[in-house]
Structures are given as structure tokens and as C-alpha cells.
Amino acid sequence: MGRLFGTDGVRGVANADLTAEMALGLSVAAAHVLAEAGTFRGHRPVAVVGRDPRASGEFLEAAVVAGLASAGVDVLRVGVLPTPAVAYLTGALGADLGVMLSASHNPMPDNGIKFFARGGHKLADELEDRIEQVYREHASGEPWDRPTGAGVGRVKEYDEGFDKYVAHLVGVLPNRLDGLKVVIDGAHGAAARVSPEAFARAGAEVVTIATEPDGLNINDGCGSTHLDGLRAAVVEHGADLGVAHDGDADRCLAVDAGGREVDGDQILSVLALGMKEAGTLRRNTVVATVMSNLGFKLAMEREGVELLQTAVGDRYVLEEMKKGGYSLGGEQSGHVIVLDHATTGDGTLTGLMLAARVAATGRPLAELAGVMERLPQVLINVRDVDKSRVGSSARLAAAVGEAERELGATGRVLLRSSGTEPLVRVMVEAADLEQARAVAGRLADEVKSALG
């Protein structure tokens, strides 16, 4: 039986893998585990619960709320808001627990549950493991110890969450965005209202696409995984830049005025140099993952910025940032963490800060992003294989070794199992695109053969 929690909570096809019964059970288990850990000691516990607009989020939210209240936790329902908004509100409201229902960039039929600890930080791995253990024990028939009477949790709507979060975003910007025209792709997701409102309050002229969620269209041909619509809109409207979110808006990718993609590595480059100039890049260091482009590493070396690399997953970036006291980190996918202002990746905040840098310097985004040159990087997702064996296959280890010898010092190979999807990712970098494609294709074939 596989572990329920991946690198970003529990995910699966809603009402198939992730059922109402599971959502309820996990919520009750989380309440009991946090009580066991002393989180609720001396006061009546409070949880903040939010979701993205997926249709399945409606019944899963109801299950989570019911589970928490049945375990004696008071619940503040904040409705459809981004994941980082739930994290922020958990901290700002002094709540003991935050719960977000979203499958981020995954297709609409999927959904997920993510728990935040007090302060809005992601739960530690050991707490997630304990929640899963307790959940499984009780799913097999062991009865819960349940409060009754006045001991049950109360449920309230917290409609002020939207304004409180947007005010926070605008309030932490180093400068206004007056004079900029920005296109925002909301992915028909959780940022569909938040992001346009925040950019407008910060002074930008805003054009929106994919900001009309109906519960079924989230991430459908739009958002950070489908940039063609944003590229076209930026060029059509003569905008200075475009910003694309994913379904739960914890990430951001951008498009420059010419319609060219600006990925997470480039965004980190722009923000790192801006923060270095402002004296807010603590310890002169940026934290990224092993998936970052080699060009990013070379650019940071040239600009005198230290680079620390972690395992893939924004939770590991965050752990390293907290451990070392760093202020900026993120992933190529657009998860960017500005720890002075957020406890997790925040796509709206990232887009705002990127736009603020354009406004402050008066330089086009293409010029700012040009600080790093992206080396050709090919990523192939290999599905329908046993991803659990990727690290133990001698055959794959030999194939990777052969590829690394072929690429030499001008390239890189990375093979890893996805933490959120049932697949193995093959990444190859090389000075030449055709060589990167050829090597990646060979390795992908080896993965299918060895793990299929």
C-alpha cells in the first residue's frame, strides 16, 4: 500500500481515489494528531478551510469541514481562494490548522488535500506520516473519541479573507505598478478574482483571460501549463508582460512583451538581483532545486549570488530556506517563495514582484530575464511504469552513467519519480538541443523497458 501523502499533500481522482469518506477521515485524523502533538493545548482549536473552484471541491470541502467540526475544531470557511491565501490567513488569524482543497495544475477530475500547520507552514513529514497512520487505523474500524454537546466544532463563513489577503499582497510591494499593462491568465482557477484585483490595486492596467471558473474548466487549455493564449493576448494588447497562474495559484510563469516565456528560473534571476540591490537577499543566497537550468546556476555565479540546490518540491526548498535563514527560493515550474512575505509559493505575489521590478527599473522584462541564458533542456514524462523502482534499478543507473559520459561537462541528466503524479520524469540538458532530445529519448525508452 503506497503512501497517501506526496510532495504536495494527498491527490487523486476525486470521488474515485479521493473520496468524501477519505477527506472526512483524514481531517479527523489531522485534528487528533495535532491535539496529540500539543498544538491545541489550552485553547479551543480553529481551522481555516479553502478550496479552488473544481466542482469536486464542493463536496470534499463539506467532508473536511464536517470531519474537523466533529473532532471539536471550529472552522472558518474562506471559500475559493489560492493556496497561499489559505496559508497566509492561517497565520494571520492565529489558526491552528489550514486546509486547502486543490490539485493545483492537475486536470479538473483530480483534487487534493493539503494541510498547513500553525503559522501557515506546511506540515512536517513526520506529522503527515502520523496522520496517515491514524487515518488507516480508524478506517479499518477503530472508533474515534468524539466530543459531544458544546464540545463539537462550530462552522462560520469568513468572507473577509479575500480583502485581507489582497491588501497584504499590495502592502508588501516595494513600489507601485503605475504605467504597466499586464495580462493575467487565471487558469479559471483560485486566482481568477484575486490576481486581477491585486494588480489593479497596485496601479497596473489589467487585461484578463481565463478568469471565469465554472467548476469544470480549471487548467483547461490555459494557465501556467498552457501559455499560448497568454502569449497571444500579450502581443494583441501591447502589454508589458503577462502572468500565468496554475489552478491553486501557488505558482507563476510569465511572458515578456514579445510573447516569449519567462520561466521560474528566469523569474528567480530577476528577483534575486533586485533583492540583492535592495539589500533584502539574505546571506546573498537563492535556493532552488536540482531541476533548475544549468544556465541559472551560471548566471548566479556570474552575478555573485550563491545558489543552494535541493530535492524537487517546494517543500524542500522551503525547509532549506528556513534552516539557513534565506529569503528567496523556488522552482523552474514557477513556485517562488519570498519568505519575508509568504510561507509558501505564491503565484500572485511572484507576479506582482516581477512587475514591480519592471516598473522600478524601466527596463523591459525580456532585458531583465536576459541575465540568464537557458541551456537546451528536454523533459519527458514516462507514464505507466513502476516509479517506486526508479532509484533501485541497476539497468537505469548504467544508462544514466553512459548518458552523463556522453554529455560531459556541458550537460546534465536527472531521473526522478514524480511526487504528485504516477510517472517518471527524464530530464536532459546539453549545449545542443538535438543531442539533449536524443539522449532523453533513449533514457525514456530505457525507463519504459526497465520499469514497465
In whole angstroms, give the CA distance from residue 188 to residue 179: 26
Q: Which residues are catalytic?
A: 104
CATH of 163-369, one of 3.40.120.10, 3.40.50.620, 3.50.50.60, 3.40.30.10: 3.40.120.10
Does the pLDDT of residue 42 top 80, yes or no? yes
Residue with cell 493556496: 83
> What is this structure's pTM?
0.89
Q: How confident is the model at residue 47 (pLDDT cuts 50, 70, 90)?
A: very high
Q: pLDDT tens-digit profile of 325-382?
A: 999 999 999 999 999 999 999 999 999 999 999 999 999 999 999 999 888 989 999 9
Residue 2 has pLDDT above 80, yes or no: no
Measured from the Cβ of residue 214, the count of other Cβ atoms closer than 10 Å reads 10
Rounded percentage of the chain residues whose pLDDT exceeds 90: 81
C-alpha distances in angstroms, 296 versus 50, 254, 303? 35, 16, 11
Which residues are part of a known binding site for Mg(2+)? 104, 246, 248, 250
Rounded CA separation 62/242 (Å): 35
Residue 192 pLDDT level (bands cut at 50, 70, 90):
very high
Specify the fold of 5-159.
Alpha-D-Glucose-1,6-Bisphosphate; Chain A, domain 3 (3.40.120)
Confidence of residue 387 (pLDDT cuts 50, 70, 90): confident
Residue 10 pLDDT greater than 80, yes or no? yes
The stretch 36-50 carries a mean pLDDT of 94
Pick the CATH number of 377-451 from 3.30.930.10, 3.30.310.50, 3.40.190.10, 3.40.50.300: 3.30.310.50
Residue intervals in the chain for CATH 3.30.310.50: 377-451
Burial of 296 (0-12, 13-18, 19+ CB in 10 A): buried
Distance CA 69, CA 147 (A): 10
Nearest Cα residue to 123 out of 105, 106, 98: 98
pLDDT tens for each residue of 210-244:
999 999 999 999 999 999 999 999 999 999 999 99
Residues of the chain with CATH 3.40.120.10: 5-159, 163-369
